[in-house]
Chains A and B, each alone.
Chain A
Amino acid sequence: MDTHIWKNIGPLSEIPVRGARRLCFGHEGKPIAVFRTGADTFFALIDECPHKAGPLSEGIIAGNTVTCPLHNWVIELDSGNVAAPDEGNARSLPVRVEGGELFVGLPVRELA
């Protein structure tokens, strides 16, 4: 059984290749960012760097990573883990594509 509420956030074309968007709704009071890589894969993370809460959606995207614009921490888009030597995790959220539109999954119980 699907434990997520899937939010449609619009057509894929709204997000540039190697780009990101901050969503107009948040999650547990935190902003959400969706990312599109050069290989056209999509990811979603809480839009706060584990370091000093920098907006990851403004970072440079290379491969499956994004670099925080404030202090250059590198975050893995799939897991939200921070690349060594720094440590930490920016929570990741599931995404799926249906009919050219992008959906982000928010955990059900936390929506309740």
Chain B
Amino acid sequence: MNMIANPLEHLVVIGNGMAGMRTVEELLKRDGAAKYRITVFGAEPHVNYNRIMLSSVLAGDKTIDDIVINTHEWYAENGINLITGDAVTDINRSIRTVTSASGLTVQYDKLLIATGSKPLAPPIPGLGMPGVCAFRDIADVDKMLDAARTQKRAVVIGGGLLGLEAAWGLKQRGMSVALVHLMPTLMERQLDAPAAQLLQRDLDRRGIAFFTEGQTEEITGTTHAEGVQLADGRFIPADLVVLAIGIRPNIDLAKACGLEVNRGIVVTDDMRTSDPDIFSVGECVEHRGSVFGLVAPIWDQAKVCAARMAGDINALFAAQALSTMLKITGVDVFSAGALTAADEADDEITLRDDNRGMYKKIVIRDGKLVGSVLYGDVSDGQWYLQLMRDKTDVSELRDRLVFGRAFAEAGSAVSTGPDFAAMADDTQICGCNGISKGTICCAIKDKDLTTLSEVRAHTKASASCGQCTGLVEGLLAFTTGVTTEKKIPAICDCTTAGHDEVRAAILAQSLKTMDAIRETFGWKKPDGCHKCRPALNYYLLCAWPGEYVDDSRSRFVNERVHANIQKDGTYSVIPRMWGGMTTPAELHAIASVAEKFQIPSVKVTGGQRIDLLGVKKEDLPAVWADLNAAGMVSGHAYAKGLRTVKTCVGSEWCRFGTQDSTGLGIKLEKMCWGSWTPHKVKFAVSGCPRNCAEATIKDMGIVCVEAGYDILVGGNGGIDVRVTDPLTRVATEDEVMEYAGAFMQVYREEAHYLERTAPWIDRVGIDYVKKRLVDDAEGRAALNARFLYSQSFAQSDPWAERANGTDAHEFARMPELV
């Protein structure tokens, strides 16, 4: 036996997960390498990864590589001996050794048990069958992804955080998903009934089928899972069953070696177990009767544990108020503290707007905030949490508190984002990592950080779940002062006036010509330029329908000649196909035109129409005349106006269709064609939430559901793909039509020229659009009326006009006279 004593104590860590490795990181920060040599055992064959983000991997938002926390190099650089894929099976406290599955035995001076938790698995028959898995580690995610690639139907058992994220991930991967939950409402430990109902409604709209109050009796199948049988007789067929009903601390090793265990491994405030040489952190521990499933308190445990190991005898762990967030894109849920009033002395204040899918509740006890549940708008969550943690007296704010920070503190209804200057240094920014504003600001200043990834690397802020990324970015801008005060951009170099200013003056001062505008604002060039002329022409056209005469010389060539110029100077011609429907007669006509004019390319477009490419300019009127003769009109594929209304076949043919999406799409197209808008506008109507018409990336998308129509706005494909924001749900087609007209008009009247609905909504906020369209029924009707009035002048086919001689000079070459 080697008798030369290593001067360093040997720290053995059982568990290569988030809690154990965070403790090691904290220990290294405290110069732990001078005191310990470290060995880490991990049962999984991977380096340390961010388990919280597994749901993002499942949903396809992240890859496994993205969620690795510490690489092999990191272990090597820090002199840590990492043994992966080899679980510890025995602890011998009398001789202070641990032994692994492979038979490796090592001696320890200090031991850290960070074995985490196991998925809760009640004795349901069929659990062990192929096609059944938990949602706990990379292996589970691999199984689920495999299933999603080859199979169709998934059932998730468990309607808590984990179950919902699993369901959403599988849905994103294209499976049809049903979710079974034992309780009447989802996430009942974090959400009260109204918030849970909104959540269920929103996820139901996204196509997840819910079976609440469903007790799983058996997972059926012979060689592979085939379905889930509920106790009340309901049966749900399944190719994949995911069990996500909860976790229980993994205490087997601790129990076997005689440490004090209860639900978890019992630890005191210093994170020691009943054996003073053995520490424990993470989901496996029980502290003052509580066990832990969220990351924030576990990071606190890691800090305290590391401090103790490093010799700090004052570090103590105390559980703080916790908040929960759900990682499902576009579904914003926040919950902290009490869900409901405990008794009559407590105040419960709620703000609820079902149409807009918004719900806020706060619980006040003895003048202090003790709980908050937010749905839809969670921007004030961290503020509420801070008030709870600081036990701030909120009596003064009581009446305004539920409306959020901006309103409560400033007495102003205008929300301008967080006020970083007024924010206390100890305000928590990153809940996962417990990082305060002060810590982040110091790191930015001391280390000259300039990017988000640097701030993440140095402080860990926003490095876990990522929900606070916006705040961290804001703080970075605030601290470095890089973003200066925003200047309103001028329309072009001809003027200092901005778009809004000009639009307001057109109406207020009855400016009806471009010259009048240029004179009013002192344009530098009397003629303007290619940037401002089309903008002013549009603004005047929009402001004075039927009165202002369009200036074709201020139109981009496509809109002047009603076809799309191609790179060789030829044009493309796309006739309208209402809602993507066509007829044999139309197809005959298109084919004849293509042959007659020797049009080189005929292509089906993404907007469900047919594009004739390579038409010579002088042929355009004759091409149009032939298409007109077959009943076709311009598709405005060249216009800053309504392009296509994409539809699926809907209830007329599809076995899933809930409404006549094709019919509705045609109605919408007939109402909106011919309008001029600040930029191009695309609609789509999907007959069910499967959304085959891709309505969620259109300027306005309608998704039909059994109960009516979900109206979505502000989406687009392109360079920066933006998914629509939900506007509202309505019951009838007539309401859809009114919303569509009103949306077109508010966009026409208020967006800047060349601003699509997506950046426009990003600029003004979806709440503003909701205020104009959803909250204000009278305003909506008025907008729609203005749109229809303006359409009465706009809806004449430009092709027919030109085929009949309008602008004939445009399409003829100058005759040779000499």
Contacts and interface: CB of A to CB of B under 8 A. Distances in A.
Q: Do A and B come from one complex?
A: yes
Contacts of B556: 60, 69
Contacts of B410: none
Given A8-B818, A23-B813, A58 B557 contact: yes
A18 B553 contact: yes
**Contact residues on A (Cβ < 8 Å of other chain), bracket:** 20 to 34
A59 B818 contact: no
Nearest to A13: B809
B528 interface: yes
B527 A38 contact: yes
Interface stretch (B194-202, B529-537, B789-797): B529-537
A30 interface: no
B818 A55 contact: no
Nearest to A67: B530
A58 B555 CA distance: 10
A63 B558 CA distance: 21
- Please tell me the size bucket of the interface on B: 20 to 34
Nearest to B816: A24
B814 A16 contact: no
B21 to A, nearest CB: 52
A63 B818 contact: no
B565 interface: yes
Given A9-B814, A16-B553, A70 B565 contact: yes
A30 to B, nearest CB: 12
A28 B637 CA distance: 35
Nearest to A33: B814
Contacts, number: 78
B565 A10 contact: no
A4 interface: no
B554 interface: yes
B596 interface: no
Contacts of B557: 58-59, 69
Interface in A28-82: 34, 37-38, 52-55, 58-63, 65, 67, 69-70, 72, 74
Nearest to B551: A18
B530 A62 contact: yes
Interface in B711-732: none
Contacts of A38: 526-527
A25 B816 contact: yes
B166 to A, nearest CB: 49
A21 interface: yes
30 contacts: A8-B818, A10-B817, A14-B809, A14-B814, A16-B553, A19-B553, A21-B813, A24-B813, A24-B814, A34-B814, A38-B526, A54-B567, A54-B569, A58-B561, A58-B565, A59-B530, A60-B530, A60-B554, A60-B556, A61-B527, A61-B553, A62-B525, A62-B527, A62-B528, A62-B533, A63-B525, A69-B557, A70-B565, A72-B530, A74-B530
Give 8 closest A-B pairs by Cβ, nearest first: A67-B530, A18-B553, A58-B557, A60-B530, A69-B557, A24-B813, A62-B527, A55-B569
Interface of A: 7-10, 14, 16-19, 21-25, 34, 37-38, 52-55, 58-63, 65, 67, 69-70, 72, 74
